[in-house]
Amino acid sequence: MKRILFVLVTLVLFSCADAPKNYATISGKITNQNSDSLVIRKQSYSKMIPVADDGSFKDTLKVEPGVYSLYDGREATSLFLRNGFDIQVTLDTKLFDETVKYSGEGAENSNFLAEKTLLEEKLFDLDALIAMDSVSREAEFQSIEKQLKDFHEAAADVDTMVINYSMKRIDGTLQAYKRYLDADLALKRELPEGAESPSFEDYENFNGDTTSLNDLEGKYVYIDVWATWCGPCIAEIPALKKLEKDYHDKNISFVSISIDDAKRHGGSADKAHASWKKMVGEEELGGIQLFAPDGWASDFIKAYQIYGIPRFILVDPEGKIVSASAPRPSSEQLIKLFDSKGI
């Protein structure tokens, strides 16, 4: 009887050991964290994970298999979760997409999604696409589509759920970029090169004065419209700093206009203004740093039809538009544009 009982207990123990976990584990470390917590989210699920002062975190999640978003403040990355996975994450928010890495059980799926994001950033070079004629652009989109599909087909060790999820989004991504480029063409028709530039008047300057666009006549003016919560805006800061240094003795002024407003800062205009002052100071931002008085609703922002940021604008020494949607600081196309104008 004792032997039978021993065998039964042993079988129960082994059964428990072999039973699949009904939860996933996620842990890791964030360098230069943006927040004291992370958020794991998809349409039907959301969970907040506390982050320690040293950037470390760990939690368990009961999830349906699928692709989720991992948010650290204003930025996010995608990962694939399934109960039973044990995922470790490392990333540096200063180079968010470039540094996110996954390890542990099931990590190959999330690493695939991270690599796909970097590939899309490389393939969808907006400044290069904008510079193309319609025939060249369509050919480039066909090439991009093929490269993305080849990338998916080569991922032999990735869960088919991830592949199917990602493949279905290729066409939507292509169409979104085409719509953006169509809107850019429409913008250039309405605000063409050589037209009088919309102006801003007496915007608050970080140094305590006010600045108007006509104060800068006699020089080219490269305008960066941004906000402290905008990840892509912040990603351009190093390139903008280098640009300002390289062109400090040239016939050009660099102006950054923050559109931080109450809506993105808990309903407080004071907090929006304080966030702008803090980031400009901490990041030691150069050029002429201005604060738009009414955020998105400021006259200059509306006149240039700015619905997404960052947006870059180039105005000539006479106050005429050179480009209502200029290349970003990190783009080689911007240097070509400067060279074409003799800057």
| Position 6 in a domain | no
Same domain, 232 and 177: no
Domain end residue (candidates: 190, 207, 224): 190
pLDDT score of 41: 94
153-162 pLDDT, tens digit each: 999 899 999 9
- 122 Cβ neighbours under 8 A, 6+ residues apart: none
Strand duo 220-226 + 252-258: pairing: parallel
- What range does the domain containing 211 cover? 196-340
pLDDT at 7 > cutoff 70: no
Same domain, 183 and 265: no
Same domain, 90 and 224: no
pLDDT score of 11: 47
Altogether, the residues listed in the chain come to a count of 343
Same domain, 44 and 100: yes
Same domain, 283 and 228: yes
Same domain, 85 and 164: no
CATH number at residue 40: 2.60.40.1120
> pLDDT category, 19, cuts 50, 70, 90?
low
Q: Distance between CA atoms of 165 and 172, rounded to whole angstroms? A: 12
CB atoms within 10 A of CB 99: 15
Report the candidate in 21, 155, 15 with the shortest Cα–Cα distance to residue 87: 21
Same domain, 79 and 133: no
| Residue 329 near residue 285, CB atoms below 8 Å | no
CB-side neighbour CA atoms (13 Å) of 94: 4
CATH number at residue 223: 3.40.30.10
221-251 pLDDT, tens digit each: 999 999 999 988 988 999 999 999 999 999 9
DSSP state of 309: S
Q: Distance between CA atoms of 44 and 118, rounded to whole angstroms? A: 27
Q: What is the pTM of this model?
A: 0.71
Domain end residue (candidates: 76, 93, 113): 113
pLDDT at 9 > cutoff 50: no
Report the candidate in 225, 212, 240 with the shortest Cα–Cα distance to residue 319: 212
| Position 118 in a domain | no
Domain end residue (candidates: 93, 113, 133): 113
60-99 pLDDT, tens digit each: 999 999 999 999 877 889 999 999 999 999 999 888 889 9
Q: Distance between CA atoms of 95 and 98, rounded to whole angstroms? A: 5
Q: Distance between CA atoms of 64 and 70, rounded to whole angstroms? A: 15
What are the DSSP E strand ranges found in the chain?
Answer: 24-31, 37-42, 45-50, 56-61, 66-72, 75-81, 86-92, 101-105, 203-205, 210-211, 220-226, 252-258, 288-291, 311-315, 321-323
Report residue 112 as tokens.
């695939």
Same domain, 157 and 214: no
Q: Distance between CA atoms of 279 and 259, rounded to whole angstroms? A: 13
| Residue 27 near residue 103, CB atoms below 8 Å | no
Same domain, 179 and 238: no
| Position 261 in a domain | yes
203-212 pLDDT, tens digit each: 999 999 999 9
The total number of structural domains that make up the chain: 3
Same domain, 182 and 217: no
> pLDDT category, 45, cuts 50, 70, 90?
very high
